[in-house]
């Protein structure tokens, strides 16, 4: 029996991204800056909008396989907070681009690229392991955001078993 591990990996990675998308789409404007967790450096790092952006920035960077010097698309910045929170529309647009990039990256992954070793300060994974690590990171933050929404009476989040076929 032959298993299409690329398709299986995408279906689960895409499901994690779709759960993140659900949380972002369901977030009402008045919760966009609510504290998801306390951050000792700056409270904004723990706010809903920033956790959403942070998740997408790392998704984008890990899909590139870049260990240093990554720059997300404008208006997003690295290494500093923007003057104003990113808007929900900006984050949703970035989310859509990252989802497409993820599907393309996973489904076209070669054995050579999958086995490429990357060196980060905290680990030295293969490119494939980095993608699985990233999938766990996306799911972690999707769960945090969903929990915050539930605690504020926002309903509509649910488990996504497999990547949706339509774009988000």
Per-residue pLDDT of the chain (168 residues; tens, 9 = 90+): 777 889 999 999 999 999 999 999 999 999 999 999 999 999 999 999 999 999 999 999 999 999 889 999 999 999 899 999 999 999 999 999 999 999 999 999 999 999 999 999 999 999 999 999 999 999 999 999 999 999 999 999 999 999 998 655
Largest CA distance in the chain: 54
What residues contact 59, with CB distance under 8 A and at least 6 apart? 17, 98, 102, 134, 137, 138
In order of start, what are the domains of the chain with their CATH numbers?
5-151 (1.20.120.450)
């Amino acid at each position: 029996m032959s298993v299409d591990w690329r398709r299986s990996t995408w279906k689960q990675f895409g499901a994690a991204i779709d759960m993140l998308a659900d949380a972002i789409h369901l977030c009402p404007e008045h919760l966009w800056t609510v504290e998801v967790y306390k951050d000792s450096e700056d409270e904004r790092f723990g706010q809903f909008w920033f956790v959403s952006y942070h998740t997408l920035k790392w998704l984008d960077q890990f899909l590139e396989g870049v260990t240093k010097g990554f720059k997300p698309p404008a208006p997003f910045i690295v290494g500093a907070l923007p003057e104003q929170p990113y808007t929900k529309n900006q984050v949703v647009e970035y989310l859509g681009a990252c989802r497409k990039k993820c599907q393309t990256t996973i489904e076209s992954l070669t054995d050579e690229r999958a086995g490429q070793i990357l060196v980060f300060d905290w680990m030295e994974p293969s490119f494939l392991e980095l993608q699985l690590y990233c999938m766990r990171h996306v799911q972690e933050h999707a769960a945090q955001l969903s929990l915050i929404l539930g605690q504020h009476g926002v309903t509509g989040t649910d488990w996504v078993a497999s990547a949706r076929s339509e774009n988000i």
